[in-house]
Amino acid sequence: MSRERVKDSWSAKKWFTVLAPTYFGNVEIGLTPADRPEKVIGRVMEATLYDITGDFSLIHVKLYFRIIDVSGEVAQTEFYGHEFTRDYLKSLVRRGTSKVDGIFDVVTKDGRALRVYPVAFTINRIKTSQEKIIRNVMGEVVEKKAEQLNYGEYAQEVVLGKIASEIYNLARKIVPLRKCEVWKTKPIKVRAKTVETLRAETQATA
């Protein structure tokens, strides 16, 4: 492709301002180029919780937003998962302690499915039986909150640490905990029948 054709291709494009969803304050999270509005639909943008809140201590939280609509030159998004940086996760590990991981598939009140990854760090090393109890607490909390909240509300409570705080307050009654986080979430695609199955499983464990 000639240099002139490349130049013409770029001159035909314009920049769209991308906003976080309303449940994250409609904050501007970036710009994305396209020659037609429909071409930006489905693109996934990355930001940090620092970009949303202005709190530098939250820069380790990476957020993903998928563009779902365009009005004029403004693109609207929805939450598309989050994760902590590897360096931050490594900094939480201590010698002589235990790390308890969980992975749970949940369905929110409005029928959206997410895979949720909580983690707890203990003050001292604990038994396998205690790890199992903590993991059960994690599952109960993330599933119960999903039943109560719609997708946007759930995303907000996960990212801002409210769900992790609830897990911490319950699990520390079992063993002393140093920290509890939900370090990752990601949307998952499930069929309607699977959604019903997930809901039934959640209600059975409630």
> pLDDT digit of tens for each residue in the chain (206 aa)?
445 554 556 667 899 999 999 999 999 999 999 999 999 999 999 999 999 999 999 999 999 999 999 999 999 999 999 999 999 999 999 999 999 999 999 999 999 999 999 999 999 999 999 999 999 999 999 999 999 999 999 999 999 999 999 999 999 999 999 999 999 999 998 765 455 565 565 555 54
Q: Which residue among 84, 101, 122 closes a domain?
A: 84
Do 115 and 34 fall into the same domain?
A: no
- The verdict on 71 and 132 lying in the same domain is no
- CA 50 to each of CA 32, 53, 150: distance values in angstroms, whole numbers, following the listed order: 20, 5, 24
Q: What is the pLDDT of residue 205?
A: 52
**Among the listed residues 126, 117, 121, the one whose alpha carbon sits nearest the alpha carbon of residue 92:** 121
Q: What is the CATH number of the domain that holds 198?
A: 3.30.479.30
Number of separate domains in the chain? 2
Check whether residue 72 and residue 137 sit in a common domain.
Answer: no
What is the per-residue pLDDT for 13?
Answer: 85
| pLDDT value of residue 197 | 61
| Whole-number Å distance between alpha carbons of 131 and 124 | 12
Residues 65 and 165 in one domain: no
Name the residue range of residue 191's domain. 86-205
**What pLDDT is recorded for position 10?**
60
**pLDDT the model gives residue 196:** 58
The enclosing H or E element of 178 equals strand 177-187
Of the candidates 72, 66, 29, 32, the residue with the CA atom closest to the CA atom of residue 48: 29
CA distance 146 to 154: 6
Instruction: Specify whether 168 is located in the same domain as 181.
Output: yes
